Structures are given as C-alpha cells and as structure tokens.
Amino acid sequence: MQKSNKVWIIDDDRSIRWVLEKALQQAHIETRLFESVDSAMSQLNRDAPDAIISDIRMPGTDGLTLLGNLHATHPQIPIIIMTAHSDLDSAVAAYQGGAFEYLPKPFDVDDAVAVTQRALAHAQEQKSDHGTETALETNTEIIGEAPAMQEVFRAIGRLSQSNITVLINGQSGTGKELVARALHRHSPRRNSPFIALNMAAIPKDLMESELFGHEKGAFTGAAAQRQGRFEQANGGSLFLDEIGDMPAETQTRLLRVLADGEFYRVGGHTPVKVDVRIIAATHQNLETLVADNRFREDLFHRLNVIRIHIPKLANRREDIPKLARFFLHKAATELNVDPKVLLPETEEYFCTLQWPGNVRQLENTCRWITVMASGREVHIEDLPPELLDNKEVSTPADDWEKALRHWADQALARGQHQLLSEAVPTFERALIETALKSTAGRKRDAANLLGWGRNTLTRKLKELGMAGGNDPDGDGED
C-alpha cells in the first residue's frame, strides 16, 4: 500500500484514535485524526481522504449523518463504520447508509487494518456503491455481540437492498426464522407479506396444496378455491423452514416455480404468476442429502445462492447473559409480573451449560423461571431440575486463559500499552494470595506450591507491596 493513501479516523474516544493511528501507520497508511464529525466535514473540501473510519454514535453529528452527507457530496470515499453497539439495527443502518464495512468494538487491530486496506483498494478500483438510508424498525429480537453473530448482522446488512434467494442453516432453536424475518424487514419487500411455512409440519399429501393452493373440487374436501402460500406471499417473501424435509415431487414443482415464476394450483389449468423472494432454512446438511439422492442437486444450487450460518448458543456464550435478561423481561411483560433477575453466579452458571436446544431452550427456561422461581433474585438452586441434574457443564480448564485474552483485547481497543506491566503483577498477586491461603500463611510451604524458594517469595511480596514482604524470617505458623 502506497504512502499517498490517506485515511481519516473520526472518534470521540482518543484511545481508539490512537490505536488505529499506530496500527495503520505500521501498515504505511497516512492518517489524520478527528474527534468529531463536524471537524472532519469542515476539512473535506480542502483535503478529501481516500477512506474514512468513523464511529457511529458520537456527541453532535453522528456517523450515520456523516454517511448521508458524504454519499451526497463525496460518493467515491469508502466509509468504515465502528460501533460499540453491536446490534442488528446498527449493522443494517450502517450498510443501508452506504458503509463499506461495519466494525464492531472491541475489534481486532489486524482486522481493522485489513478492512482499511480493502477499502483503499476499492476506492482505487471504482466509485463507491450508492446507498440509501431507510427508517429502521426496532426490537428485532436478534441479540448478539459474539463475532459469529456479527457475521450474521453483516450478511443481513449487505443483503438489505437485495431480492436474492438466501439459504439459512443452523441447529434447531438457533433463531433461523428471526433471521429470515429480519432479511425481509430490511429488504425492498418490507411492506409486502412475509409468509412462513415449516415443511416438517405439513403432511406429505397436503404439501402441494399448502404451497400452490387448489381449485374447487380438486380433491375430496376441496369445497372452494384456495390460495396457497406462494400467492399469499406475492410481492413479498416466502420462508420455507426445514426445506430438507420437502418431498421429492414437491421439490420438482418448487424448482419450476423458481425457474419460471409461475405454477398451477392443484387441479388447475391456468398458470398463476407470482413475484416471491425465497428464504429457505434447514438444520440438515443439504450437501449430504444431495449425495444420498434425497434432495435435488439442481434445487440445492437454486437455493444456495447466499448462505447464512447461525451459530449454536454454546458457540456464542458471551451473548447468554444479555439474551437471558431479554427473555426474562419479555416473559415478565407477557405475564404482567416483575422481571426476575439472575444473580451473577447464576449468569456464570448459565454460561457453562451446553444448551442443546439453543436460544429456544434458553427462552423456555426464562419462562419457567418467571413462573416458578419464588423470589425476584434467581439462585442456581432455583433453576429447572434438568439444568441441575444433567450437569451439562463445559470444561472450565481454559476459562482463565479466555478471560485473559478478552481483557487484553479490550485493553488494546482502549489504547492501553505495556500490558505485561499490568497483567503480570496481578497474575502473580493472585497466585501468591491463593498459595498463602492454602498453607495458612506459611511462606515456606507457599513457596513450594509456587515452585519458588522462600527468599524469592519474600522478594515478590515486597515488590508487590503485600503483607510479609518486609519480614523475611516470618513464616506464619512456622
């Protein structure tokens, strides 16, 4: 990347500006820092950059306003939007406003540099794509700050102006229909119907009538003409859940509709033309079904244009406390009672469970707690018996290492440096305190537990300002 490339960084947080400045400078990218959108906008006519990295929410003019203004005056400048508000609405707002990329905080510095380099390459190759800001609906019920969910938000944002077919895969209970509804809600078809149909819930002999409708007298009991789901969804989106369970003959008819945009009602002779966006979902591996001749390969390729994977809840444990709080408030509102509150140790316990039923199981558990827990504060012993009896707890052996990595990521994002000078004393202090507690204050025994000599332990106590550091001969009960 050439030195002439210029990137502006706009954020009211000085530490974020500092981190990005140093990282981009190491990549030989020239930077200029601004603490507000207004100060950057005043410089645009004099010295426009090649790309901009901006926070989305700041005092005064915000990042979304910047997006709108720049796409009117400088559409060729790619803009990377940062936000600590890692939610779907922020992602969709950024993409619909024309953002080149969406970067949730805390971010990986290497990722930020890579995204910036892509933006600069894009600026050199072509003008930025046009984007329009649209009003956003709130309360999407999709909650997620885990990296895997941020990828889902990005996909929804990128598809927000598209009518393309989407295939969603993920385990049962992960929220595939919520994602499908979000895709529809943030699409050009938002004001037209969203129709959902679960293939696994429809009897085989009624499947085609359910999808394509029927004429009067088409079969016993068909007393009147009936519209199918395709006609009901005309102009909007049709969500076909558990598409892997669709019978072979129905797969053939669906393929023709996708190819021609028309079909015949059961018992009918007049073609019915429709304009429908298909969003399909499955918990199965469709490639395996194709290999086993249980799913048409040509239909698979028709559906598998864009694929979105929804992670299982066990792979996004950092989202569990926030999801639990949301579901507890939702259940309390539905039942017209005060919301229950999970104690910190209960939240921690939730994060160790495997949740084989994923988000749906968590939601049902929160409903159970709202009805059955006796007090407002929820203790571990207040949980459903199956969560206590199964002991489906993940191995915590490396939890401290994950926590340390998380702390380091956040510290770097805040602009801290010399991390070892802060982390090592804290680490040593915790181990020393634990060893001394285990040996009732006997320094010789504590030193043995730590793998040190007693003099080393005494020196460390003094360096860390801990009790016993000035008493080299003292040894608790020795």
Q: Which pLDDT tens digit goes with each residue over 432-454?
A: 888 888 787 788 888 888 888 88
Number of domains in the chain: 4
Q: Average pLDDT of 323-348?
A: 92
Q: Average pLDDT of 384-409?
A: 65
Most confident segment among 41-55, 155-169, 238-252 = 238-252
Q: Are residues 320 and 241 part of one domain?
A: no
Distance between first and last Cα of the chain? 65
Q: How confident is the model at residue 31 (pLDDT cuts 50, 70, 90)?
A: very high
Cα–Cα distance list, 440 to 29, 149, 434, 436 (Å): 57, 47, 10, 6
Residue 9 has pLDDT above 90, yes or no: yes
Among 306, 249, 297, 250, CA closest to 278: 306
Residue 257 has pLDDT above 90, yes or no: yes
Residue 398 has pLDDT above 60, yes or no: no
Q: How confident is the model at residue 2 (pLDDT cuts 50, 70, 90)?
A: very low
Q: Are residues 354 and 327 part of one domain?
A: yes
Residue 82 has pLDDT above 70, yes or no: yes
Q: Average pLDDT of 165-187?
A: 93
Q: Are residues 331 and 295 part of one domain?
A: no
Q: Average pLDDT of 285-289?
A: 93
| CATH assignment at residue 110 | 3.40.50.2300
Residue 363 has pLDDT above 60, yes or no: yes
The last residue of a domain, from among 274, 309, 344: 309
Q: Is residue 130 part of a domain?
A: no
Q: Which residue has the higher pLDDT, 387 or 97?
A: 387
With a CB cutoff of 8 Å and minimum separation 6, the contacts of 455 are: 472
Q: Are residues 285 and 219 part of one domain?
A: yes
Q: How confident is the model at residue 138 (pLDDT cuts 50, 70, 90)?
A: very low
Q: Are residues 334 and 236 part of one domain?
A: no
Q: Is residue 152 part of a domain?
A: no
Q: Is residue 148 part of a domain?
A: no
Residue 277 has pLDDT above 50, yes or no: yes
In angstroms, the CA 327 to CA 316 distance is: 16
Peptide bond preceding 59 in cis form (omega within 30 of 0) = no
Q: Are residues 326 and 233 part of one domain?
A: no
Sign, CA dihedral 333-335-338-339, equals negative
The pLDDT value given to residue 137: 35
Among 158, 185, 15, 170, CA closest to 84: 15
Q: Which pLDDT tens digit goes with each residue over 10-30?
A: 998 888 999 999 999 888 899
| Helix, strand, or coil (residue 4) | coil
Q: Average pLDDT of 320-349?
A: 92
In angstroms, the CA 91 to CA 290 distance is: 34
Q: Are residues 83 and 198 part of one domain?
A: no
- Do 279 and 236 touch, CB atoms closer than 8 A? no
The pLDDT value given to residue 400: 67
The pLDDT value given to residue 399: 59
The pLDDT value given to residue 21: 92
The pLDDT value given to residue 475: 53
Among 381, 445, 357, CA closest to 174: 357
Residue-range definition of the domain harbouring residue 105: 6-125
Q: Average pLDDT of 381-404?
A: 67
Which tokens go with 305? 């244009």
| CATH assignment at residue 380 | 1.10.8.60
Q: Is residue 413 part of a domain?
A: no
- Do 93 and 67 touch, CB atoms closer than 8 A? no
The pLDDT value given to residue 223: 79
Average pLDDT score over the chain: 84
Q: Are residues 268 and 323 part of one domain?
A: no
Lowest mean pLDDT among 220-234, 276-290, 348-362: 220-234
Q: Are residues 305 and 320 part of one domain?
A: no
Scan for tokens 């028709």, then name that residue.
Answer: 302
Lowest mean pLDDT among 67-71, 284-288, 304-308, 322-326: 67-71
Q: Average pLDDT of 131-138?
A: 31
Q: Are residues 301 and 169 part of one domain?
A: yes
Q: Which residue has the higher pLDDT, 8 or 95?
A: 8
The pLDDT value given to residue 321: 94
Residue 397 has pLDDT above 70, yes or no: no
The pLDDT value given to residue 139: 43
The last residue of a domain, from among 260, 281, 309: 309
The pLDDT value given to residue 127: 41
Q: What percent of the chain has pLDDT over 90?
A: 42
- Count CA atoms within 13 Å of residue 25 on its CB side: 10
Among 170, 124, 137, 159, CA closest to 283: 170
Q: Average pLDDT of 61-76?
A: 78
Q: How confident is the model at residue 356 (pLDDT cuts 50, 70, 90)?
A: very high
The pLDDT value given to residue 295: 96
Amino acid code (one letter) for 286? L
Among 98, 36, 106, CA closest to 71: 98
Q: Are residues 172 and 305 part of one domain?
A: yes
With a CB cutoff of 8 Å and minimum separation 6, the contacts of 468 are: 436, 441, 443, 458, 461, 474
The pLDDT value given to residue 471: 60
Neighbours of 335 (CB within 10 A): 12
The pLDDT value given to residue 410: 66
The last residue of a domain, from among 294, 309, 324: 309
Q: Are residues 67 and 16 part of one domain?
A: yes
The pLDDT value given to residue 413: 61
Q: Is residue 145 part of a domain?
A: no
Helix 358-372, helix 320-335: angle, nearest 10: 50
| Helix, strand, or coil (residue 369) | helix
Q: Which pLDDT tens digit goes with each residue over 190-216?
A: 899 999 999 998 888 889 888 999 888
Residue 270 has pLDDT above 70, yes or no: yes
